[in-house]
Amino acid sequence: MTPLPSGPPFALRARILSPMADGGWLDELDGLLEVDAAGRILRAAAWPSGAEAPASVFDLRPHVLMPGMVDLHTHLPQIPNAGLGSGLDLLTWLDRYIFPLERAYDRSVAEHQAPLAFRAFAAAGTTTVVAYSALWEDSTDAAFAAAEAHGIRAVIGKVMMDRLTYDTEIEPGEILETSLRQSEELASRWHGADAGRLSYAFTPRFAVTCSAEMLRESATLAARHGAYWQTHISEDAGEMGEVARLFPQARDYLDVYDTAGALGARTILAHAIHLSAREVARVVETEARVAHCPASNLFLSSGMMPLGAYRAAGMELGLGSDLAGGPEISIFSVMRAGAVTQRVLELTGTAVRTDALRPLDWIRLGTLDGARALGLEGTVGSLEAGREADMIAIDPRFTSPLPNDDPPEAAEDLASRLVFRPHPNMVRAAWVRGRLLAGPPGPGGIG
Ligand code: GUN
Ligand code: ZN
């Protein structure tokens, strides 16, 4: 088995494929990637000839080095029910499959499950994860502690609900104040921890379960802490009907969050499938970010988001697994669901083929675009000098239809294999700041 560097500094020889911040691609069939002692990329380039080559190098060929995937939207307590409950509408599915799990996600469950979850994310190639926990302060704290120990880059938030809550203990009059206080305590403890590797997201679940006051107060706290603010929007017909009933004075669903002062560059809106033209324009104007969750949108029959039109309007988007609304942890699987969705929209005449994303566009969406959605494009999302070394090594032979086939040389073809034939074992290593993450099995193992 090829040895792997467990921490910086180190140099790797491998194929390198990465989006670049200037819009281009770094595509080296035989490349060199050097990481300095602080875990930053010193150089990512063609393998140098002659004396310039480093004296000591880990040779990972034919593995492909890529930036780690950014999962903009997932739910830690829901993971055990991934793949269960398809065919139910969102609100029924939440009641039957999700709220019981979240209610049970206490500190001891989180201490057991969160380390396993972060290993599973790393094994799927995700090095940055944006997650909801449950309503509980102590299990959210345990999830942060697990992320701190594991090494993954994480944004986490305690779910807030002051309507239809599954907290059966709390007095109704105390819900709002308690939820705000606990969220603020967690933000004070964790936002910016480990030099910014961990961040806090104020997390009102969605307008169905939150009063206008909770939305407004949580947005105020997020702004005060410089933290993120995340919620769901416009996912499912039943949910949208409820929001219209609960907020009759609002112009539309987005207006509920807008009126709360919650829309800005630190806002992450999940799903956003059925936005009107006005809502699309307003999301773009406020610079709010959208987590596109196509695998979940298909699994729960929520709908098909018009990604091409949203991108053409200038919306900032990234990808989310939305476990357990989405059945799979891998952002590569999410790309495939997204690509299939776009094809169906084309075939039904709802989208035009020229707007369709190419495989490399999907890889960019799952990496650098996700980082940009978090305001981290200068830090992670691409393999460029000065960025922190958040990256993965993929064995592309796992995506071949026949064993031992040589992987395609052209970047577009390699990307196409990764998007349309992702394999659960193809990610062999993952690093954050040059530190090897537990989860992926290491190189080797193919025939
Ligand atoms: N809307 C409100 N809560 C949830 C959730 O947990 N999952 C999904 N997919 N949608 C939601
Ligand atoms: Zn969700």
Same domain, 216 and 247: yes
Q: Is 160 in the same domain as 61? A: no
Is residue 443 one of the residues assigned to a domain?
A: no
pLDDT at res. 445: 55
Position 2 in a domain = no
Is residue 442 included in any domain, yes or no? no
User: How far away, in angstroms, is 271 Cα from ligand 1 center?
Assistant: 9
**For position 130, which CATH number holds?**
3.20.20.140
At CA 154, angle to CA 133 and CA 290, rounded to 5? 80
Number of domains making up the chain: 2
* pLDDT for position 183: 98
The answer to whether residue 444 sits within a structural domain is no
Q: Which residues pair with 229 in a beta bridge?
A: 202, 267
What's the confidence (pLDDT) of residue 354? 64
Domain coverage including residue 31: 10-67+381-436
Does the CA dihedral 18-21-23-28 come out positive or negative?
negative
Query: Would you state the pLDDT for residue 100?
Result: 97
**Residue 417 CA to chain centroid, in angstroms?**
21
Residues of the chain falling short of pLDDT 70? 1-2, 353-354, 445-447
Each residue of 105-133: pLDDT tens digit? 999 999 999 999 999 999 999 999 999 99
With respect to residue 4, please indicate whether it lies within any of the assigned structural domains. Answer: no
Domain finish residue from 320, 355, 373: 373
Closest CA to 388 of 433, 321, 428: 433
Distance CA 381, CA 67 (A): 6
Examine the domain organization and report whether 74 and 62 are in the same domain.
no
Same domain, 32 and 180: no
Domain boundary among 356, 373, 390: 373
Tell me, what CATH number does 420's domain have?
2.30.40.10
Ligand at minimal distance from the CA of 72 is: 2
pLDDT value of position 447: 43
- DSSP lists the bridge partners of residue 156 as 131, 200
- The whole-number pLDDT of residue 1 equals 54
201 and 301 inside one domain: yes
d(CA 267, CA 289): 6
- What are 234's two structure tokens? 């416009």
Q: Are residues 30 and 117 in the same domain?
A: no
Are 219 and 360 in a shared domain? yes
Atom of ligand 1 nearest to the CA of 209: 2
pLDDT given at position 50 = 81
> Is the same domain home to 106 and 159?
yes
Residue of the CA atom closest to atom 7 of ligand 1: 325
Q: pTM higher than 0.75, yes or no?
A: yes
**pLDDT (tens digit, 9 = 90+) per residue, 153-177?**
999 999 999 999 999 999 999 999 9
Choose the residue to mutate in 75, 94, 231 for probing ligand 1, maximizing ligand atoms within 8 Å of C-beta: 94
* 279 shares its domain with 414: no
Provide the strand spans (E) within 262-337: 267-271, 289-292, 316-319
- Tell me, what DSSP letter sits at residue 388? B
Pair (305, 337) in one structural domain: yes
